[in-house]
Copies of this chain bind each other. A is one copy, B any other.
Amino acid sequence: MPVAEAVEPGNSPESKGAPAVLPVAVDAMGGDFAPAEIVAGARRAFEELGIPVVLVGPGDGSLGDTGGLEVIAASEVIEMDDDPAKSVRNKKDSSLVRAAEAVRDGRASAMVSAGNTGAAMASALLRMGRLRGVMRPAIATPLPALSGAPTLLVDAGANAECQPEWLVQFAQMGAAFATARYGTARPKVALLSIGEEASKGNGLVKATHELLTGGGGEPGFEFVGNVEGRDLLTGDVDVVVTDGFTGNVALKTLEGALRAFMTILGKVFATSEETKAAGDVLAPSLLEYALRLDPEETGGAMLLGVDGVCVISHGSSSARAIVNAVRVAHDSAAGGLSQRLGDAVSPGA
């Protein structure tokens, strides 16, 4: 493996005397723009950030110039619309499954995929297994806040149907992840509901509310009660806990709203020569906010609760999104995320 030359302070994968750092396994065949954008992102993560990366994909040279990055051979590809469970069972030599195995076998510190989300979850779960004590892994997706650290939405889509006890674990793992990733000392955790009062919500929310308020509270976070959909972008809380159905609907609703607003701005700018000029004046300032809201900047979603680090990047990931995802994956593995999640769920175990 080539040696990194450009290393950011604090991110050094190969400090003097430290043990060799395992590479991040990147699924080269996952995502709408695979493999070109994925390979480009992986190369940049290595070349610019000095993070060791191993690509997983066809070993026949069809990945193009990998910039010297090692390739773990995988002859099959799980498509975006393949059935998750079936494809993981049937495509044993797929890049996604092999990436998960690389983590399981100690060849990689973490995996990153922009492919089929369900299949990424299934691969990670089936190959790495669950962390001890974890009932169900969940997806933590960072929602951009207008100021401060993102709010983590957990579960953003792993479990369409949930039990109250699982949601309590989502709160524990989400809080531990917020602390690990954003340095939030005692994260504020809220339940997504349809009213702030404890009496509001469906049976799942009410039962979870009771579990989270009973027994003197949780050591790792502060439970602040219910929030509503309109609170997701305010940045007032660090973690919003919900079932994977509601979480995924809320996430996609935000995506749709973002798209609608971009469409509107585009139409407004295109109204006349004058509005076009006005748009040019606003562009730099707008771009600053656009970057803050851009999912490509957040590094993707983290699958919490499997025995290893698994970052799931958006299907439309560009090279830039992959760079960020690799950085988050590397930092999370180096920071002992799995250990911290395990401790959060089974304290003192």
Residues of chain A touching chain B, judged by Cβ–Cβ distance below 8 Å, are: 81, 83, 146, 157, 160-161, 192-194, 197, 199-203, 205, 228-234, 242-246, 248-261, 263-264, 267-269, 271, 274-275, 277-279, 281-282, 285-286, 289
Contacts and interface: CB of A to CB of B under 8 A. Distances in A.
A65 B256 CA distance: 44
A261 B256 CA distance: 13
8 contacts: A160-B202, A228-B256, A230-B256, A232-B256, A234-B260, A261-B261, A268-B289, A282-B282
B160 A201 contact: yes
Given A230-B253, A233-B257, A264-B286, 18 more contacts: A81-B197, A160-B201, A192-B249, A193-B249, A229-B251, A230-B259, A232-B256, A234-B260, A249-B250, A250-B253, A253-B253, A257-B257, A264-B289, A268-B289, A275-B282, A275-B285, A278-B278, A278-B282
A275 B281 contact: yes
B229 A260 contact: no
A249 B281 contact: no
Q: How many copies does the complex hold?
A: 2
Contact of A194 (B157, B268, B274, B278): B157
B253 A232 contact: yes
Contacts of A251: 229
Contacts of A234: 256, 260
A274 to B, nearest CB: 5
A248 B194 contact: yes
Contacts of A249: 192-194, 228-229, 242, 246, 249-250
A interface, over-half SS: helix
Contact of A260 (B233, B248, B268): B233
Contacts of A275: 281-282, 285
A119 to B, nearest CB: 13
A8 to B, nearest CB: 29
A197 B192 CA distance: 26
A255 B254 CA distance: 10
A235 to B, nearest CB: 10
A253 B229 CA distance: 4
Contacts of A160: 194, 200-202
A146 B257 CA distance: 11
Nearest to A234: B256
Contact of A278 (B193, B264, B281): B281
A233 to B, nearest CB: 4
